[in-house]
Structure 1
Amino acid sequence: MKRAFAALIIVLAGCANPSIVQVSPDTYMLSREDHAGIFGSASALKAGVISDANAFAAAQGKLAIPISTHETPVGVMGKWAKFDYQFRVVEKNDPEARRTSLVPRADVVIEKTEKISVESRTKDESAKPKDVYAELIKLDDLRKKGILSEAEFETQKKKVLIGN
């Protein structure tokens, strides 16, 4: 019986929400999950997190200034509702304490990467006639260098002349 009770305590301790985490010298983050499922309250979750952040700052004689928030609603991919709150702790006379605003973030980020090949033309090149003279000069040059035989030269020459 004692072992079962001890195991239950360990499991419940593992489900506890994390405390305030220091991100930088004056920046902190508080993240909390609501395990009440459909019976939970998203607004109560948010209010509790923000209240805890304000109490943390007040215990130091300072103010909590919001930086960003992120929430995962109930039922998203079978996960618990979650609220992340990042804030700075500043002196009460700090200029940032007068006007606060959250950094705008996209609710949904869609990233799609695929290769797209596009044929782009600036002129109508389909109506452009081939330069027969330049083609014949190239073929003759290849024949003189020994790259094309006399028979290959004649075959290619006929193709160029018939093509136009």
Structure 2
Amino acid sequence: MNRYVLPFLAGALLAGCSNPGIVQVSPDTYLLAREAHGGIFASSTALKAGVIQDANAFAESQGKVAIPISAKEKPMGNGPAQWASFEYQFRVVEKDDPAVRRTQMVHNPNVVIQKSDPDDVSPQQGDKNGAKDLYSELLKLEDLKKRGLLNDAEFDAQKKKLLQ
């Protein structure tokens, strides 16, 4: 019985590591994804080139042309079983289709940065923070006057400067 278990486990292990082939997403759209299980010895460029070549060969076998739709690349991670992968989505069209001349691939960014600036209010528009800062500055001036660090003339001059 042991002689049947070992080959079965080896076959199951190899089947679990295999990459899926070309998957049909819609009548003319296909997806090809592949992982590079070579670790640091695998080339991401060779992985991408191999996937694109296979997609083109698939289209040529049907007498058509592969037009790229999108590509998604994931680099190799630092932990175990974090393989580099490449996913390529493409359409298969006739060679005389006008879309063949104007191919454009959509880039799917991993990170999208949006700028939002809530502090874009000028003091002339009734900025509450500006009014609060003015009040705290006047309190500081009054405190300096009470301590005797500012005389009445200096206090009035600084107050006038703040209120302008």
Distance 2:20 2:62 in 1: 20
Q: Counterpart of 2:88 in 1: which secondary structure?
A: strand
Give TM-score scaled by structure 1 length: 0.65
Match of 1:45 among 32, 39, 47: 47
The alignment status of 1:94 with 2:97, answered yes or no, reads yes
Where does residue 62 of structure 1 map in the other structure? 64
Change (3 A) 1:99 1:34: same
Contact 2:65 2:100 in 1 (8 A): yes
Matched ranges for 1:4-153 at <5 A:
4-75=6-77, 78=80, 79-109=82-112, 122-123=125-126
Q: Counterpart of 1:92 in 2: which secondary structure?
A: coil
Letter in 2 for 1:43: T
Distance 1:124 1:36 in 2: 59
Contact 2:24 2:30 in 1 (8 A): yes
Letter in 1 for 2:19: N
Contact 2:28 2:92 in 1 (8 A): yes
Greater share of residues in helix = 2
> Aligned pairs, how many?
123
Distance 1:76 1:84 in 2: 20
Distance 2:127 2:76 in 1: 57
Give TM-score scaled by structure 2 length: 0.65
1:123, distance to aligned residue in structure 2 (A):
3.5
Which of structures 1 and 2 has the bigger CA Rg?
A: 1
What fraction of aligned residue pairs are identical, expressed as a percent? 57
Gaps of 5+ in 2: 132-164
Change (3 A) 1:90 1:76: farther
Q: Counterpart of 1:33 in 2: which secondary structure?
A: strand
Distance 2:78 2:101 in 1: 36
Q: Counterpart of 2:96 in 1: which secondary structure?
A: coil
Distance 1:92 1:77 in 2: 44
